[in-house]
Amino acid sequence: MIAVELRKLLLRPRTWISVFMLCLLPTVVAVFLAVTGIGPRPGQGPTFLAAVLSNGQLYPAAALGIVLPIFLPIAVSVVAGESIAGEASTGTLRYLVARPVGRTRILVAKLVAVTVFTLLAVVAVAGTGYVSGVTLLGANELAATTTTTVSGTPLDSRQLTVRTVLMVLYIGLSMLGVAAVSMFLSTLTDSPLAAALGGLGVLVGSTVLVGLDAAESVRNWLPTRYWLAWVDLFRDPILWRDVERGVLVQAIWTGVLLGAAWANFSTRDVTS
Amino acid sequence: MAGIGDPAIRTRGLTKRFGSVVAVDDVDLEVAEGDRYGFLGPNGSGKTTMVRMLLGLVFATAGEVEVLGHPVPRHAAEALRDVGALVEGPAAYPHLSAATNLSLIDAAGPRHSRLPRGDRRRRIHEALEQVGLDGIGRRPVKAFSLGMRQRLGLAAAVIRRPRLLVLDEPTNGLDPQGIQEVRALLVALNEAGTTVFLSSHLLAEVEQLCSRVGVMDSGRLVVQEDLAGLRRPTGRAVVRVGDPAAARDLLRERVAVVDGDRLVVRDIGVDELTRRLVEAGIAVHEAQPERRSLEDTVLELTGPGSDRVAG
């Protein structure tokens, strides 16, 4: 069933279109930066963007910073919201259950497919970010083999690779939290659109509350609270505190919501 | 374990409530292996809910379901691996071809119920051929007509040569030739040993295909009998004669109905009736015992469907 879900994911034109769109925006941004040489002032605009003009090798991180707040969650939420509700709305869910495929197995296979999509998207954005960063913005010419951290200290390529991989995993996990919300909603409704938009609604709500001082008491447990903590991976030394908390918060959200999705789906009548 | 002689489908006291609505009420259904079972009833009588419970889609409120000797939904994996189904219309991934759709749904099943990999391509071709879609090529399903989708749904149901076929309105959207083809396919599969459970509101379809009939009405199974039993003679005779007026004078109060040259006559055998008419010099075009049609029986047993909302 897992192999079948992956085949379905890869055979679906939408998968590739959304990955392409995700890669397109950072590339367009890189072209503008390279042509004009005008970057946002440090501390303003999307994360990292100020730093990349002097160092194209940091552009994968900047590219993810560009798509992270909106585009990546949208893409992940659409795929996750589609998982059960999409099968229900095409009517294929009844044939899967009657085939018979166990309901837990369906859910696990869907989760694997969503995870693969998330990693595919994150890696694709980071990859095109690297290519466009190095070709358009140029590697750091002062030291061809080293690059600098946000803290200004040098970073060799091996360190940079390790940190980039950690970043991809951290963002992947954050997106899994998004996916869990939409997958849970996807087991409640037969409309994939409602599930995807519901997931985004939760994110917008979370973002509003994180920015609200009056919500101090809960905000450290909100799903978007530590989303940008991956920037700390590019400090020297790595600032682990927020990253660790972020992993914990995402793990809790993901675990609880997937548990709820399983409990709901495995006891629900399939009437679509 | 499933033994020889187990019924293909058996339910005991099967009940399903959706909130306060009782969709299926205490149904004891029994379909023997090898049957061609017609499952009839007006819209909203609980047929589809029954079918969904047989396939583990809907969980029963009370009662038991056994399919091919295994309880459903507890052992759905064993029970349903030899079942092919068409429930409430076919469904397929619209952007993929017929063959890819069949391949995906087959590969999705538990390992022991999948076709061997090398065999799969051949079986897909064979199934498409059986339903008359073998020339379909790589066209995506979204370009299919209603009838083509219906055929694809049937192909998905028969691809693993199931022991039991559960079909809900299988000829929906097909033209008369298509209906004929499907009927021939089902008869051939049945003769090769497949049990056919056909849920339909088309009486003619059931009458032409099935040997046993169950009728649902407002959630209850009101009759379950051999088709021949339902259509037993009424004891009256039907004749078409050359001179209805003369025949009426001859038979007098025995004539129950006169409709043009057609008379329904009671309290007399067909042989006796024919002899008397001929002796009286009245030409007999046709004479036979009157049989109740399935339609009469079903209309008598069931109320109006739930989609009729009269004031």
The Cα A66–Cα A31 span in angstroms is 14
> Minimal Cα–Cα distance from B14 to chain A, Å?
15
- Give the residue from A99, A105, A266 with the most B CB atoms within 10 Å of its CB, the best one to mutate: A99
Residue B153 CB contacts under 8 Å (≥ 6 apart), including other chains: B86, B89, B90, B91, B92, B170
> According to the model, what pLDDT value does residue A4 have?
94
Of A13, A101, A102, the CB nearest to B95: A13
> According to the model, what pLDDT value does residue A145 have?
45
For B288, the token pair is 């036979």
Of B58, B100, B105, the CB nearest to A95: B105
Across the interface, do A101 and B91 touch by the CB < 8 Å criterion? no
Across the interface, do B108 and A101 touch by the CB < 8 Å criterion? yes
Q: B154 versus B253: which is more confidently predicted?
A: B154
Q: What is the pLDDT of residues B144-176, one digit of tens each?
A: 999 999 999 999 999 999 999 999 989 888 899
One-letter amino acid for residue A29 of the chain: V
> According to the model, what pLDDT value does residue A114 have?
95
Across the interface, do B56 and A97 touch by the CB < 8 Å criterion? yes
Q: Where are the domains of chain A?
A: 2-267
Contact A117/A15 with Cβ under 8 angstroms? yes
Of B58, B80, B91, the CB nearest to A92: B91
Torsion of CA A92, A94, A96, A99, to 10 degrees: -130
The Cα A30–Cα B69 span in angstroms is 65
Across the interface, do B87 and A98 touch by the CB < 8 Å criterion? yes
Contact B31/B294 with Cβ under 8 angstroms? no
Q: Which residue of B has its CA nearest to A97?
A: B57
The Cα B66–Cα B251 span in angstroms is 55
Q: What is the pLDDT of residues B52-85, one digit of tens each?
A: 999 999 999 999 999 999 999 999 999 999 999 9
> Minimal Cα–Cα distance from A269 to chain B, Å?
4
The Cα A219–Cα B174 span in angstroms is 59
> According to the model, what pLDDT value does residue A43 have?
59
Across the interface, do B91 and A8 touch by the CB < 8 Å criterion? no
By a Cβ cutoff of 8 Å, what residues of chain B touch chain A? 52, 55-59, 76-77, 79-81, 83, 85, 87-96, 100, 104-105, 107-110, 113, 156
Question: How many CA atoms lie less than 13 Å away from B86 in the CB half-sphere?
Answer: 25
Q: Which residue of A has its CA nearest to B101?
A: A8
Q: Taking 60 as the threshold, does the pLDDT of residue B2 lie above it?
A: no
> Minimal Cα–Cα distance from B18 to chain A, Å?
10
Q: Taking 80 as the threshold, does the pLDDT of residue B307 lie above it?
A: no
Task: Please tell me whether residue B226 adopts helix, strand or coil conformation.
Answer: strand
Across the interface, do B100 and A102 touch by the CB < 8 Å criterion? no
One-letter amino acid for residue B50 of the chain: M
- The DSSP call for residue B20 is T
> Minimal Cα–Cα distance from A35 to chain B, Å?
40
In sign, the C-alpha dihedral spanning A200, A202, A206, A208 is positive
Task: Please tell me whether residue A219 adopts helix, strand or coil conformation.
Answer: helix
> According to the model, what pLDDT value does residue B55 have?
96
- The DSSP call for residue B57 is S
Domains of chain B: residue spans and CATH: 9-230 (3.40.50.300), 234-291 (3.30.70.100)
Conformation bin of residue A245: beta by default, left when phi > 0, alpha when psi is -120 to 50: alpha
Contact A262/A102 with Cβ under 8 angstroms? no
The Cα A271–Cα B53 span in angstroms is 10
What does chain B come to in residues? 311
Across the interface, do A269 and B59 touch by the CB < 8 Å criterion? yes
Query: Longest C-alpha distance within chain A, in Å?
Result: 65
> According to the model, what pLDDT value does residue A243 have?
94
The Cα A189–Cα A200 span in angstroms is 15
Across the interface, do B81 and A100 touch by the CB < 8 Å criterion? yes
SS (H, E, C) A240-261: HHHHHHHHHHHHHHHHHHHHHH
The mean pLDDT value of chain B amounts to 90
Distance of CA B87 to the CA centre of its chain: 13
The Cα A72–Cα A18 span in angstroms is 9
Mean pLDDT of B100-120: 89
Using only C-alpha atoms, chain B has a radius of gyration, in whole angstroms, of 24
Residue A233 CB contacts under 8 Å (≥ 6 apart), including other chains: A163, A166, A167, A170, A243
Contact A232/A245 with Cβ under 8 angstroms? no
Contact A159/A60 with Cβ under 8 angstroms? no
> According to the model, what pLDDT value does residue A138 have?
74
Q: What is the pLDDT of residues B229-249, one digit of tens each?
A: 888 888 889 999 989 989 988
Q: Where are the beta strands (DSSP E) in B21-60?
A: 21-27, 30-31, 36-40
In sign, the C-alpha dihedral spanning B67, B69, B72, B75 is negative
Conformation bin of residue B44: beta by default, left when phi > 0, alpha when psi is -120 to 50: left
> Minimal Cα–Cα distance from B11 to chain A, Å?
18
> Minimal Cα–Cα distance from B154 to chain A, Å?
12
Q: B299 versus A113: which is more confidently predicted?
A: A113
> According to the model, what pLDDT value does residue B5 have?
65
Q: What is the pLDDT of residues B3-34, one digit of tens each?
A: 456 799 999 999 999 999 999 999 999 999 99
Across the interface, do A100 and B76 touch by the CB < 8 Å criterion? yes
Q: Which residue of B has its CA nearest to A1?
A: B108
Question: How many CA atoms lie less than 13 Å away from B228 in the CB half-sphere?
Answer: 2
Reply yes or no: is the peptide bond before residue A237 cis, omega within 30 of 0: yes
Contact B91/A95 with Cβ under 8 angstroms? yes
The Cα A264–Cα A257 span in angstroms is 10
Across the interface, do B109 and A98 touch by the CB < 8 Å criterion? no
**CA-closest candidate to residue A182, choices A88, A64, A73:** A73
Q: A-chain residues within 8 Å CB-CB of B89?
A: 91
CA distances from A113 to A5, A110, A189, A227 (A): 6, 5, 20, 22
User: With pLDDT > 90 as the criterion, what percentage of chain A qualifies?
Assistant: 63
Across the interface, do B76 and A3 touch by the CB < 8 Å criterion? no
> According to the model, what pLDDT value does residue A148 have?
63
Residue in the block written with tokens 């994180």 = A210
> Minimal Cα–Cα distance from B22 to chain A, Å?
15
- Model's pTM, two decimal places? 0.87
Across the interface, do A270 and B52 touch by the CB < 8 Å criterion? yes
Across the interface, do B91 and A1 touch by the CB < 8 Å criterion? no
- The DSSP call for residue A135 is I
> According to the model, what pLDDT value does residue A41 have?
65
> Minimal Cα–Cα distance from B55 to chain A, Å?
5
Q: B-chain residues within 8 Å CB-CB of A12?
A: 95
- How would you classify the pairing of strands B83-86 and B164-168? parallel
Mean pLDDT of B240-268: 89
Across the interface, do A269 and B89 touch by the CB < 8 Å criterion? no
A18 sits in which H/E element: helix A13-36
Q: Which residue of B has its CA nearest to A89?
A: B91
Those residues of chain A that have pLDDT short of 70 are 41-48, 50, 139-152
> Minimal Cα–Cα distance from B244 to chain A, Å?
56
Question: How many CA atoms lie less than 13 Å away from A272 in the CB half-sphere?
Answer: 22
Q: Which residue of A has its CA nearest to B51?
A: A98
For A186, the token pair is 């996807």
